[in-house]
């Protein structure tokens, strides 16, 4: 087996950077926020994940101090909405670089549903949503110590909403929800199959 190797500082030498294609699939953090002026914002982030379950904490990372980060820092809250195959076009519409003060809910034709414990609404059409309260925002830095224009936002999940159509015998059925996953380049995938393995005992 031959291996293509490169040092990041010297460039990858390929038509496109393979980094995000290798770290895939990634769940999409479809984050809704409210600005101090009251405008609703909705944006998908491909650097998103859960980081622990006790307490339940999620994070998303933004390249640039964008409206989502600004709004979370100001309001102390956000909602993660599950992006699924049936909402792929709406999710894509919400990713456009609209001018400040534009509501992606309106642009994408989505319904804002009231949350239970926070003031920021969720996407009513989403199969699942997490209401989150802000824990901290970190600005990242590289090995050289220079601060990057990348910001990681952490939030604790305080309320959960699940469409009952994707619950089977009390379990969240990912094959019914069909969540979108971000790959590299302009590629996406859909989670529509699962298999099980039993963890071995030492």
Portion of the chain with pLDDT greater than 90, in percent: 99
Confidence of residue 202 (pLDDT cuts 50, 70, 90): confident
Q: Tell me what pLDDT residue 188 has.
A: 97
**What average pLDDT does this structure show over 143-162?**
98
CB-based contact 188:180 (threshold 8 Å): yes
Distance, CA of 168 to CA of 76 (rounded, Å): 34
Task: Decide if pLDDT at 185 tops 90.
Answer: yes
What's the pLDDT tens digit per position in 76-96?
999 999 999 999 999 999 999
Q: pLDDT over 70 for what percent of the chain?
A: 100
| Per-residue pLDDT tens digits for 12-37 | 999 999 999 999 999 999 999 999 99
Which residue from 80, 111, 84 is spatially nearest to 177, judged by alpha carbons?
84
What letter does residue 86 receive in the DSSP assignment?
G
E strand intervals along 92-200: 112-113, 122-123, 128-141, 147-162, 167-168, 171-172, 180-182, 188-190
Q: What is the pTM of this model?
A: 0.95
CA 161 to CA 81: how far, in whole Å?
9
């Amino acid at each position: 087996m031959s291996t293509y190797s490169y040092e990041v500082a010297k460039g990858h030498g390929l038509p496109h950077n393979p980094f995000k294609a290798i770290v895939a699939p990634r769940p999409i953090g479809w984050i809704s926020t409210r600005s101090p002026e009251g405008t609703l914002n909705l944006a998908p982030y491909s650097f998103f994940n859960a980081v622990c379950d006790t307490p339940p904490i999620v994070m998303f990372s933004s390249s640039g101090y964008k409206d989502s980060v600004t709004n979370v820092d100001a309001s102390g809250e956000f909602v993660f909405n599950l992006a699924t195959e049936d909402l792929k076009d709406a999710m894509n519409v919400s990713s456009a670089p609209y001018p400040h003060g534009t509501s992606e809910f309106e642009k994408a034709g989505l319904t804002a549903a009231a949350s239970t414990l926070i003031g920021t609404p969720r996407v009513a059409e989403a199969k699942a949503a997490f209401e989150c309260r802000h824990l901290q925002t970190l600005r990242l830095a590289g090995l050289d110590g220079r601060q990057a224009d990348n910001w990681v936002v952490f939030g604790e999940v305080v309320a959960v909403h699940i469409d009952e159509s994707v619950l089977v015998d009390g379990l969240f059925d990912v094959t019914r929800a069909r969540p979108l996953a971000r790959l590299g380049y302009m590629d996406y995938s859909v989670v529509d199959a699962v298999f099980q393995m039993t963890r071995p005992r030492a």
